[in-house]
């Protein structure tokens, strides 16, 4: 007698086959939006300085303010989403962003238009991202959040990686055609968002967070912890993001640096979805230890300066990014009683604070290391921060929480 067939064994990719039509559409948009944006945004300094003749100092100020608007404006986007709804907020954000890319066309010969266009694009991004992530996770069970957010992150990073490569041949030789193509792309994406159904809000579930040493966090500490850890995670990561090019190209070549970036992007895009379920079930303290240890080890490897060490260090830092960034968002959602849009708006603000602090500290730090001809010390100092700052931050949060008015001893 023929035995009955065994039921199919679930695979790691099974959750990704169960997305809804709107979720698939938004995930596709999560690839196309950064693909179009990063086809032009990485070349803004070239456009503003070399083509329009704006001084480098002024260019730096414009780019810094635009970045700050893009990050901190997530709080405004979250508040708007609570007032008018997620779909309408995304539509408004994309309309503003489309207008921004269209304004780059006259901006190719007029500095004022170019600067205004850049700020419109930044405002659109600030409004869109919290609503986009909130729409993805609204109405889904907590165990479905990790696959959705990891797939969104992978799509985003794939678009970021491919955008500059696809646009590089056209940026200087066919700028008007490139900006026209990006504007049309965003207009089509905006039209697609108009067809999305309204998201049905739900009361967020309150999870009981796990903590080290058997300590129970106070109500004040629970939502603050992932915000503070996100600030710290982005702070240490941005040292790598900002200064790897200066460090690696001088010791290897532009080709090798491009190879490192390509492998980094590939690892990020592939591993984030595959590890999402494991990351979701990690206790938060253990995820922090794994993530910051990978960051610290990777920064230490960079200090060696050998090409193999630079590649290995970059890939270790990628592992740290995968674990920390996804886990921080999941923890922020599970610990908060506010809507997902507000949670993601706050997370976006935390990332902006971390990136801003890293820029201030990193610029002076790297300049000092270069002047003393000991650039390896820069990466060792970053590694030390990866190892020392997380436990100090956790201790400071617990102390302030115990000392807060109304806390129980």
DSSP 177-245: HHHHHHHHHHHHHHHHHHTSPPP---PPP------GGGPPPPTTHHHHHHHHHHHHHHHHHHHHHHHHH
Roughly what angle, to the nearest 10 degrees, separates helices 340-371 and 111-137? 130
User: What integer pLDDT is reported at residue 338 of this predicted model?
Assistant: 84
Tally: H helices and E strands in the chain:
14, 0
What's the rounded Cα separation, in Å, for the pair 288 and 158? Answer: 25
Confidence (pLDDT) at 49: 76
For 338-379, give the DSSP string.
S-HHHHHHHHHHHHHHHHHHHHHHHHHHHHHHHHTT-HHHHH
Of the candidate ranges 218-222, 228-232, 332-336, the one whose mean pLDDT is the lowest: 218-222
Domains 22-194 and 218-399 share a fold: yes
150 near 144, Cβ under 8 Å? no
- Residue range 22-194 in CATH 1.20.1250.20: yes
Domain ranges of the chain: 22-194, 218-399
The mean of the pLDDT values for the chain is 83
The answer to whether the CB of 201 falls within 8 A of the CB of 138 is yes
- The DSSP secondary-structure symbol of 51 reads I
Residue 3 pLDDT level (bands cut at 50, 70, 90):
low
Instruction: Decide: helix, strand or coil at residue 337.
Output: coil
Q: What is the pLDDT of residues 256-298, one digit of tens each?
A: 887 888 888 889 888 988 898 899 999 999 999 999 999 999 9
Measured over all CA atoms, what is the biggest interatomic distance in the chain, rounded to whole angstroms? 83
Query: Which of 12-21, 50-59, 98-107, 157-166 reaches the highest mean pLDDT?
Result: 98-107
pLDDT 10s digits, 159-198? 888 887 777 677 667 788 888 999 999 999 999 999 998 8
Do residues 140 and 342 touch, judged by C-beta distance below 8 A?
no
Position 97 pLDDT exceeds 80: yes
Note if the pTM is more than 0.95.
Answer: no
Listed ranges 82-96, 159-173, 217-231; the one with the highest mean pLDDT? 82-96
178: left (phi over 0), alpha (psi -120 to 50) or beta: alpha
Angle between helical axes of 86-107 and 175-194 (0-180°, round to 10): 170
The fold of 218-399 is Growth Hormone; Chain: A; (1.20.1250)
Reported as a pLDDT band with limits 50, 70 and 90, residue 208 is very low
């Amino acid at each position: 007698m023929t035995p009955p067939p065994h039921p199919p064994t679930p695979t790691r990719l099974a959750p990704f086959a169960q997305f809804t039509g709107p979720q698939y559409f938004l995930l596709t948009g999560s690839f196309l939006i950064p693909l179009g944006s990063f086809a032009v945004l990485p070349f803004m300094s070239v456009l503003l300085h070399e083509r329009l003749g704006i001084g480098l100092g002024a260019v730096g100020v414009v780019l810094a303010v635009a970045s700050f608007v893009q990050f901190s404006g997530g709080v405004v986007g979250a508040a708007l989403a609570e007032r008018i709804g997620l779909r309408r907020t995304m539509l408004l954000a994309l309309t503003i962003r489309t207008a921004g890319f269209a304004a780059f066309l006259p901006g190719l010969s007029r500095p004022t238009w170019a600067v205004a266009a850049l700020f419109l694009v930044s405002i659109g991004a600030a409004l869109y991202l919290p609503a986009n992530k909130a729409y993805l996770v609204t109405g889904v069970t907590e165990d479905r959040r990790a696959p959705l957010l990891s797939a969104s992150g992978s799509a985003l990073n794939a678009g970021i990686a491919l955008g500059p490569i696809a646009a590089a041949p056209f940026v200087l030789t066919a700028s008007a055609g490139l900006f026209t193509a990006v504007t049309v792309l965003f207009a089509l994406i905006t039209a697609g968002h108009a067809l999305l159904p309204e998201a049905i809000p739900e009361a967020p579930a309150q999870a009981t967070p796990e903590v080290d040493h058997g300590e129970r966090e106070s109500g004040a500490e629970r939502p603050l912890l992932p915000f503070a850890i996100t600030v710290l995670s982005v702070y240490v990561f941005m040292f790598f993001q900002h200064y790897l090019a200066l460090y690696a190209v001088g010791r290897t070549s532009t080709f090798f640096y491009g190879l490192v970036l390509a492998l980094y992007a590939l690892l990020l895009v592939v591993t984030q979805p595959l590890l999402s379920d494991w990351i979701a079930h990690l206790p938060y303290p253990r995820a922090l230890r794994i993530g910051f240890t990978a960051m610290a080890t990777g920064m230490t490897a960079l200090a060696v300066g050998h090409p193999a060490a630079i590649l290995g260090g970059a890939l270790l830092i990628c592992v740290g990014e995968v674990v920390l960034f996804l886990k921080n968002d999941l923890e922020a959602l599970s610990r908060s009683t506010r809507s997902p849009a507000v949670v993601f708006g706050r997370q976006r603000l935390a990332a902006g604070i971390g990136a801003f602090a890293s820029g201030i500290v990193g610029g002076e730090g790297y300049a000092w290391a270069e002047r003393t001809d000991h650039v390896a010390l820069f990466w060792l100092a970053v590694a030390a921060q990866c190892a020392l700052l997380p436990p100090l931050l956790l201790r400071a949060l617990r102390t302030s929480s115990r000392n807060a008015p109304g806390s129980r001893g």
